[in-house]
Each structure stands twice: as structure tokens, then as C-alpha cells.
């Protein structure tokens, strides 16, 4: 049944290509030097550091600085994040689509990346110096605007620039840099937590250190990446009409893309539960104070870092041989096992082993997710489609906070006692992995018209 649906979808795409005059914009064919691939990937380190570090620092402040009453940490984290999520969903696809048509001396993506990263630093400062939950929420929302203003256009780089034979490698590098960014963000957060008891400015210093990491990686992209010159023609349309294109109903024809976005949301929600719950888990389940929790999180980061490093590149290479979906299925199984171990762990070392298995799963998914998405999106509108795909990323963290934190953790803590909630949230993460694997089944891995496109079709 799935193979029949796949053949019908590929035939429909081929018909659409013929109806448009037979012109198909495929991938570039010239291999990129490794330095260019590294520079394209570098900004993911900065982006990942910002969101992993910022959200973790917020959790630390909620747990240990009495911003919210005890027992309402989950709802507090949700209140901080919810508005920004809707902003991210609206901004990233819209600006990504506009960048597809932009013509500047810098290229079509770079102006958005530079402006967004510059504003990120400003809003990080505002967030770090605010002590009222509504002010923190306001600056997090502004940060979502500026960050996604940059991310939407940036995500078009791999489909724009990377030839098919290097997609697996490029995706692996993006996964690696994204994972390293997560580790960097959590490391800065853990260090700031460790010293927060003796230095009242520790969280401020940590937040601005993360901003410096992002700004440095942005410069590596803006200064050194060659975007090429391919731009979609506006054909006299206004910029408002271009912006509306991001939300055109023609996207409903891209069935594999829609299934993949849904799968991606569930998998990333499950993957977000562990890091989002980490501070609450250590403090509530095992009774650690701020200094102890900071020390354990540094140990946890070392374990996660090693596991990610040994999984990312092999996973991307394996996906070139056996297919992207099979590797993602394997990552779902490993992620569910790791979360389940944390949910039932009687002692901390068992939870750390589970975290290692979870990290292998996360690294494998990050390595292959980009390659699969890049394989199936229409190449002429990469800013639009990659921006829409990141709706899953933008909403997954908030989904984890809403379901795992506000709905499950706080409720179970009230019903079964303080400390039971984080364990229940990890069980929810297991269910998210299962749902993500099921939603992946209808996805067709390749676009037939691109496979058939002649080498000269690439510009």
C-alpha cells in the first residue's frame, strides 16, 4: 500500500514538472570543499547554543531563584515560551520565502542572518537583566522573532548549495555542529548554575556568553560563505504577495513533506523532554541543590558529548547506504529506551546510562533529519519549505513544556507528590517517539523529478 502511494506521488510530481514546461531546478552538481561545508554548518552551533542554553538557564532560574511558587515551575516555563512559539511559526517560513526572492550585494540570505543575529544579542541582554516573569517572556518572544528572522533564510543553504552526493555529509556536519551547540549551551548553563549561589550575576554572564558564541559563528557564515547567484523572479509581485506565498495551499500537494513535518514535531518533542526536564529532574527526583545539580549536569554533558560525537557521522554515512528513514526509526527506538530508563531509574547512575543512549539517538536523528528534509523539498523554494519545516523545531520545545511540564509534571507532582512529575514527563517523551516513528511511514524519501533531472539542470 505504501509503495503504491509512493508511485502515485512520484507520478504526480513528474506531471507537475512537465506542465511547468519540463524545467526542473535540481541541485548544484559541483562538489563543495570541506571548508565551505564546515562554514555552512557553523552557524548551527550558535543557533543551538542559544536555544539550549537560554531555555536551560530559564529552567535554572525558575527552580532556584523563586521567580514562581514551588510546584508551578512547569507552567512558569510554558508561560515564558508560549508567545514566542507562535512568533517563530509565523516569522521563519515568511522571511525564508522572502529571502528566496531577495537580491542584494551580500546575496539573498546573508542580510537576514546578520540582522537577526545582531538583534539576538540585544534581546538576550534584556532577558538576562529581567527578573519579572512577564518581562522575561517578552524578551524571549523578541528573541524568537530575531532568531527566526535569521534561521528561515539560513536553512536554505544546504538545498541551495550542496550537491546530492554531499547531502549525507553536509547533514552529518549540521547534526554534529547542532549537537556541539547544544552541548556548549548546556555547559555554559551548568557552569552558571554551579556558581549562581556565590555570584548573583552568574546567569547574566552565562546568557551573554551564549550570545557571543552565536555572533561569532554568524560572522563565519556571512564573511566566508559563497551563496551563488540563483534567485527566484518576482515577476512584478509585491513583497506582501511574496510573504503570503509562504502560506499558500499548494503546499498541501507535498504529502511527504507534510508527513515528515508531523513526524519531526513528535520526535523533536520527545527529544526535548529530557533536556527541558533536566534541572527539574535532578532537583525534584534526586533532591540536588543548585551546586550539586550544576556539577552533575557537567558530568551529564561529558557523557552526552561523547555519545553524540560517536553517532553523528556514522549515522549520516549509514543513511546513504540503507536509507534515511531506517536510521530515523533506529534513533526513535534508542531515544525511547533512554527516556524509559530515566523514568524508572532508582539511582542517578542508571539515569546517566539512559542519558547516554538517548544522546546516541539524538545525534543519529540530527545527522539524518536534515538530509531527508533536503531530499524531498522543492529546490526552487528552499527558504520557504525549510522555514516551514522548522515550525516543528520551534513548536517542539514549547510542546514539551506544555505537555511534559505544565500538563504532566506539575499535575503529577500535585497528585502523587513532589518529584514524581519529572518521571511522568519522561514517559510522555517515550510516547512522542512512538508517534513520530508511525508518522514517518508514509514519507517518500526522494523527489522523482530531481532524480531524473540531467546534470546540466543545476545552476
Please give the tally of structural domains in the chain. 1
Q: Is residue 22 part of a domain?
A: no
Q: Is residue 30 part of a domain?
A: no
Q: Is residue 241 part of a domain?
A: no
Q: Is residue 26 part of a domain?
A: no
Taking residues 374-379, what's their average pLDDT?
A: 74
Domain boundaries, position 286:
39-227+254-445
What is the pLDDT at residue 244? 78
What is the pLDDT at residue 190? 85
pLDDT tens by residue, 167-222: 777 777 877 788 788 888 888 988 888 887 767 788 889 999 999 999 999 998 88
Provide the terminal-to-terminal Cα distance of the chain, rounded to the nearest Å: 37
Q: Is residue 408 part of a domain?
A: yes
Q: Is residue 34 part of a domain?
A: no
Grid cell at residue 103:
537580491
Distance CA 160, CA 415 (A): 52
Q: Is residue 31 part of a domain?
A: no
Q: Is residue 377 part of a domain?
A: yes
CATH number at residue 312: 1.20.1250.20
pLDDT tens by residue, 247-305: 777 778 888 888 988 998 999 898 888 888 888 889 899 989 888 888 888 888 888 88
The answer, yes or no, to whether residue 25 has pLDDT greater than 80, is: no
Amino acid at each position: 500500500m505504501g509503495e503504491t502511494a509512493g508511485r502515485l506521488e512520484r507520478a504526480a510530481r513528474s506531471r507537475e514538472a512537465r506542465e511547468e514546461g519540463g524545467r526542473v531546478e535540481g541541485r548544484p552538481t559541483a562538489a563543495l570543499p570541506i571548508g565551505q561545508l564546515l562554514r555552512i554548518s557553523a552557524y548551527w552551533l550558535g543557533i543551538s547554543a542559544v536555544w539550549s542554553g537560554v531555555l536551560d538557564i530559564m529552567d535554572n532560574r525558575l527552580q532556584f531563584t523563586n521567580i514562581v511558587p514551588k510546584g508551578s515551575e512547569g507552567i512558569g516555563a510554558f508561560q515564558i515560551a508560549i508567545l514566542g512559539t507562535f512568533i517563530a511559526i509565523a516569522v521563519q517560513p515568511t522571511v525564508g520565502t522572502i529571502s528566496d526572492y531577495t537580491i542584494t550585494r551580500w546575496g539573498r540570505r546573508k542580510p537576514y542572518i546578520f540582522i537577526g543575529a545582531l538583534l539576538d544579542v540585544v534581546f538576550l541582554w534584556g532577558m538576562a537583566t529581567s527578573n519579572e516573569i512577564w518581562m522575561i517572556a517578552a524578551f524571549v518572544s523578541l528573541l524568537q522573532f530575531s532568531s527566526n528572522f535569521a534561521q528561515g533564510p539560513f536553512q536554505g543553504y544546504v538545498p541551495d548549495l550542496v550537491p546530492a552526493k554531499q547531502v549525507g555529509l553536509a547533514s552529518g556536519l549540521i547534526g554534529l555542529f547542532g549537537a556541539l551547540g547544544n552541548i556548549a549551551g548546556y555547559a555554559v548553563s551548568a557552569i552558571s548554575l554551579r556558581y549562581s549561589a556565590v555570584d548573583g550575576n552568574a546567569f547574566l554572564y552565562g546568557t551573554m556568553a551564549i550570545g557571543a558564541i552565536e555572533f561569532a559563528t554568524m560572522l563565519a557564515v556571512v564573511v566566508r560563505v559563497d551563496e551563488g547567484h540563483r534567485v527566484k523572479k518576482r515577476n512584478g509581485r509585491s513583497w506582501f504577495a511574496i510573504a503570503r506565498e509562504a502560506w499558500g495551499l499548494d503546499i498541501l500537494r507535498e504529502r511527504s513533506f507534510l508527513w515528515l513535518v508531523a513526524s519531526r514535531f513528535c520526535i523533536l518533542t520527545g527529544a526535548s523532554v529530557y533536556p527541558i526536564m533536566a534541572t527539574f529532574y535532578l532537583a525534584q527526583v534526586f533532591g540536588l541543590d543548585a551546586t550539586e545539580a550544576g556539577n552533575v549536569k557537567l558530568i551529564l554533558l561529558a557523557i552526552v558529548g561523547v555519545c553524540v560525537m560517536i553517532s553523528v557521522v556514522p549515522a549520516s554515512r549509514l543513511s546513504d547506504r540503507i536509507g534515511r528513514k531506517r536510521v530515523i526509526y533506529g534513533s526513535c527506538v534508542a531515544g525511547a529506551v533512554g527516556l524509559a530508563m530515566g523514568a524508572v531509574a532508582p539511582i542517578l547512575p542508571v539515569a546517566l546510562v539512559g542519558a547516554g543512549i538517548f544522546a546516541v539517538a539524538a545525534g543519529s536523528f540530527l545527522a539524518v533529519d536534515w538530509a531527508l528534509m533536503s531530499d524531498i523539498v522543492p529546490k526552487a523554494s528552499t527558504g520557504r519549505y525549510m522555514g516551514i519545516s522548522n515550525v516543528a523545531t520551534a513548536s517542539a520545545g514549547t510542546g514539551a513544556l506544555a505537555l511534559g511540564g505544565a500538563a504532566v509534571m506539575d499535575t503529577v507532582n500535585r497528585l502523587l507528590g513532589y518529584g514524581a512529575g519529572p518521571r511522568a514527563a519522561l514517559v510522555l517523551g517515550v510516547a512522542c517517539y512512538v508517534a513520530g516513528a508511525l508518522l514517518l511511514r508514509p514519507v517518500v524519501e526522494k523527489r522523482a523529478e530531481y532524480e531524473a533531472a540531467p546534470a546540466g539542470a543545476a545552476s
